[in-house]
A and B are shown apart, each in its own frame.
Chain A
């Protein structure tokens, strides 16, 4: 699916994916984590990747079956190096108001892969 660079679209997009996740038998905890990680990826794509440019879109590829969920989010930005994002859990960064999206994706998904130049992220969750 392709969505516009509008924050208000994220919620509905995530809910549609959540429906598929639940239909494929993922438990509540997994579904919660998949939804949260997907929303973080979408917000990042819209805010940071596409810089809220209404002329740009975000591509969301969804491949979900009973064994695993693979979500790929691609924006039309220039990309970035995820290794340059500061660790938000260090003492000096703990009270920064932003910078936790990627960390939460990694916490709730089994795999998080950024494809160079960094404008695409692939989220993978195994169904246990």
Chain B
């Protein structure tokens, strides 16, 4: 099952893992992150124990507000005993995670397949 919702492509596999592809013009900045965050929070709220993969393959630029959104998302998922994986992060974007030490908070895999497999 897949649906396009503006900036997000959401699909739920037969294994119950929700994969979210970030597609908003390859940019996660102050203007886009608010709407994206609300969509993701709503997605998590709908699930009893969410298992979510966020695919960053299309993301070429990001601001610090996106990190804040991801932290909040991570907390909300954890509170529901769920799990979050980030995948497909380009090297330049990944550097932002290492500079901020957030690579120690988030579980990040190179590919979507690896992320999904780690949740099943």
Q: Judge whether B27 is part of the interface by a CB distance below 8 angstroms.
A: yes
- Distance from B95 Cβ to chain A, minimum over Cβ atoms (Å): 9
Chain B residues in 8 Å Cβ range of A32? 61, 92
Please tell me if B58 contacts chain A, counting CB pairs below 8 Å: no
* Total residues of chain B contacting the partner, CB 8 A: 24
1/0 per residue, CB under 8 A from B, across A25-66: the answer is 000110010011001100100010000000000000000000
Q: Which of B3-11, B43-51, B62-70 contacts A (4 or more CB under 8 A)?
A: B62-70
Determine which of A7, A89, A95, A107 lies in contact with B30 in the assembled complex, contact meaning CB atoms within 8 Å.
Answer: A7
A7 to B64: give the CA distance in the assembly, Å: 14
Give the distance to chain A from B96, nearest Cβ to Cβ, in Å: 7
Which of B14-22, B80-88, B100-108, B109-117 touches A?
Answer: B100-108
Q: Indicate if A71 sits at the interface (CB-CB under 8 A).
A: no
Report if A97-B68 is in contact (Cβ < 8 Å); known contacts: A10-B29, A11-B31, A107-B99: yes
A121 to chain B, nearest CB (A): 15
B61 touches A35 (CB 8 A): yes
- In this assembly, does A98 line the interface, its C-beta being within 8 Å of a C-beta of chain B? yes
Render A90-113 as a binary contact track against B, CB cut-off 8 A, 1 for contact: 000011111011011001000000
Interface membership of A79, Cβ < 8 A: no
A40 to B66, CA, bound (A): 12
